[in-house]
């Protein structure tokens, strides 16, 4: 009776080769299915509109200004007509940076302003940014709800611009 030792190879295809082939064929079918579908209009599309930068003292170039985020229609528009019709939208507006003396971090508020056409419906503090090393970039960001309670916190401990911890 011949015994196969643990270091000897068994003849025949390995089971994982079949698994790899099945996954490649399956992903090819999924990719083909995704590309053959025609794009349909999505009424829940989000559109972002940037406003011209505002001069905020001691802020880096890429953090100036505000961004308007709104829900619109992604229907194709005939020439000369508006691309989207808005029922309402909100703007994230950067507030005045408060610089504290060392060892306290700088404080940067961001407000959510809800608009309907040109009328302001609501304005509240949405995010609180903290700049610990005073380089002009946010090192901790607190997300607040409409009631003012903290909903989440994001941290950048090593100051590389990437989120290191989220709570």
Domain membership of residue 41 (yes or no) is no
| Least confident span in 37-51, 99-113, 134-148 | 37-51
Domain membership of residue 58 (yes or no) is yes
Global pTM value: 0.45
Domain membership of residue 105 (yes or no) is yes
Range of the domain at 65: 46-166
Domain membership of residue 75 (yes or no) is yes
Please give the tally of structural domains in the chain.
1
What pLDDT, in 10s, does the model give residues 75-133?
Answer: 554 454 545 555 788 888 999 989 888 888 999 999 999 888 888 888 899 999 999 88
**Helix H or strand E segment including 126:** strand 119-131
Domain membership of residue 137 (yes or no) is yes
Domain membership of residue 76 (yes or no) is yes
Domain membership of residue 144 (yes or no) is yes
Domain membership of residue 34 (yes or no) is no
Number of DSSP helices (H) and strands (E) in the chain, helices first: 1, 8
């Amino acid at each position: 009776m011949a015994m196969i030792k643990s270091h000897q190879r068994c003849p025949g295809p390995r089971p994982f080769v079949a698994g790899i082939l099945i996954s490649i064929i399956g992903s090819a079918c999924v990719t083909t299915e995704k590309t053959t579908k025609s794009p349909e209009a999505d009424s829940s599309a989000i559109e972002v509109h940037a406003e011209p930068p505002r001069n905020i003292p001691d802020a880096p170039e890429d953090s100036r200004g505000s961004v308007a985020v709104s829900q619109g229609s992604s229907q194709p528009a005939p020439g000369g007509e508006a691309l989207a019709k808005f029922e309402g939208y909100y703007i994230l507006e950067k507030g005045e940076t408060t610089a504290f003396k060392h060892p306290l971090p700088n404080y940067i508020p961001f407000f959510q302003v809800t608009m309907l056409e040109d009328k302001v419906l609501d304005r509240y503090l949405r995010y609180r940014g903290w700049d610990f090393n005073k380089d002009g970039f946010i090192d901790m960001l607190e997300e607040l709800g409409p009631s003012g309670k903290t909903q989440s916190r994001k941290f950048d401990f090593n100051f590389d611009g990437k989120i290191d911890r989220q709570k």
